[in-house]
Amino acid sequence: AQSVTQLGSHVSVSEGALVLLRCNYSSSVPPYLFWYVQYPNQGLQLLLKYTTGATLVKGINGFEAEFKKSETSFHLTKPSAHMSDAAEYFCAVSDYAGGTSYGKLTFGQGTILTVHP
Amino acid sequence: EAGVTQFPSHSVIEKGQTVTLRCDPISGHDNLYWYRRVMGKEIKFLLHFVKESKQDESGMPNNRFLAERTGGTYSTLKVQPAELEDSGVYFCASSPRTRPGNTIYFGEGSWLTVV
């Protein structure tokens, strides 16, 4: 079974500071990895995803994540935080172990990002 | 293009009552998923439709939950009778193709409170 661990349920940064949200996964097969964001009173929005190829993935709003197989990690970063980045962020892995239910996502617990002036 | 829409956005019901949540996927998306997040927990998979067929319902918690997707278009998730532990946010999602790594588009969720 696959699993995702997000280190830190709450992260607080200053505006302009580096954002680093940590995600480690466990998977018995090559993983497909995702970061979603949920802004207040909105649904989940895809930030970026890793399927195959380049391990550094760029997403929307200046976010990027690097797939590191040796560390089983997929940490999300942004060089400079904006107030508008305040939201809850979810790391997820796609459950694909030879079954037919493609797209079944296993989520981490979520990390609430607070950005203060 | 309209996204995934869910109705109602919020619902408060008493224990023992019935609630039906509706999801309209993005037009043309064969795959439809239901997920749930109860307070303080992670988002968990409930089930997956491909068109009108249930592909995977391994996440359905018990037989008080019934999901349907008539004609392969919109879907409903009925909880009958509702219990306190059913409170949470129910997300619907859809995707165009059935393959690994496919982008899944989520709705805004239906917030259910059982009192």
Least trusted range by pLDDT, from A24-38, B20-34, B95-109: B95-109
Higher pLDDT among residues A27 and B74, named by residue: B74
What pLDDT score was predicted for residue B39? 85
What pLDDT score was predicted for residue A31? 84
Residue B24 and residue B44: Cα distance in Å, rounded? 20
Instruction: Tell me what the mean pLDDT of segment A7-29 comes to.
Output: 93
Which one of A52, A102, A112 makes the best mutation probe of the B interface by having the most chain B beta carbons within 10 Å? Answer: A102
Which one of B42, B94, B110 makes the best mutation probe of the A interface by having the most chain A beta carbons within 10 Å? Answer: B42
Instruction: Tell me what the mean pLDDT of segment B79-83 comes to.
Output: 96
Q: What is the Cα Rg of chain A in Å? A: 14
Residue A54 and residue B86: Cα distance in Å, rounded? 41
Quick check: B71 contacting A, CB < 8 Å? no
Residue A52 and residue B25: Cα distance in Å, rounded? 27
Phi and psi dihedrals of B86, rounded to 5?
-80, -10
What pLDDT score was predicted for residue B97? 74
Instruction: Tell me what the mean pLDDT of segment A8-22 comes to.
Output: 97
Return mean pLDDT, chain A: 91
Instruction: Tell me what the mean pLDDT of segment B4-33 comes to.
Output: 96
Instruction: Tell me what the mean pLDDT of segment A47-75 comes to.
Output: 93
Angle in degrees, CA B106, B111, B115, rounded to 5: 155
As a whole-number percent, the residues of chain B with pLDDT over 70 amount to: 97
Q: What share of chain A is helix, strand, coil (3-state, %, to 5)?
A: 5, 55, 40
Nearest to A86, CA basis, from A14, A26, A7 = A14
What pLDDT score was predicted for residue B44? 95
For residue A43, give the nearest of B55, B102, B109 by CB distance.
Answer: B109
Separation in Å, CA of A116 to nearest CA in chain B = 24
DSSP code for A98: S
What pLDDT score was predicted for residue A101? 55
As a whole-number percent, the residues of chain A with pLDDT over 90 amount to: 74
B36-64 tens-digit pLDDT: 999 889 999 999 999 999 988 999 999 99
B10-24 tens-digit pLDDT: 999 999 999 999 999
pLDDT band for position A47 (50/70/90)?
Answer: very high
Judged by CB atoms closer than 8 Å, whether chains meet at A43 and B35 is answered as no
A91-100 tens-digit pLDDT: 999 866 555 5
Instruction: Tell me what the mean pLDDT of segment A87-110 comes to.
Output: 80
What pLDDT score was predicted for residue A95? 67
Angle in degrees, CA A53, A35, B86, rounded to 5: 140
Higher pLDDT among residues A98 and A105, named by residue: A105
Q: Does residue A6 contact residue B42 with C-beta atoms inside 8 Å?
A: no
For residue B31, give the nearest of A92, A96, A103 by CB distance.
Answer: A103
Least trusted range by pLDDT, from A28-37, B56-65, B77-86: A28-37
